[in-house]
């Protein structure tokens, strides 16, 4: 008896490329919908990100001035 993967291969092996792209898109949607299947250790620690905005032009000012500027953008 064929496995599900074998049945999928047989059903899709002769499809044209645009339809294969749709099948792949749907398979990726299902995988993401289900959520991660294994825990992947992050490559960075939170402390690695400290000071990451010190050279930023956007956030290189007095914190109160930055907040005011961000608020003004929404009004």
pTM more than 0.75:
no
pLDDT tens readout for residues 7-61: 999 999 999 888 999 999 999 898 888 876 666 666 777 777 777 777 777 777 7
Q: Are 20 and 9 in contact (CB under 8 A)?
A: no
Three-state DSSP string of 53-73: CCCCCCCCCCHHHHHHHHHHH
């Amino acid at each position: 008896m064929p496995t599900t993967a074998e049945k999928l291969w047989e059903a899709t092996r002769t499809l044209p490329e645009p339809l294969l792209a749709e099948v792949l898109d749907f398979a990726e949607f299902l995988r993401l919908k289900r959520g991660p299947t294994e825990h992947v250790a992050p490559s960075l620690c939170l402390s690695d990100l400290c000071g990451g905005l010190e050279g930023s032009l956007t956030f290189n000012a007095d914190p109160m001035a930055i907040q005011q500027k961000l608020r003004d953008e929404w009004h």
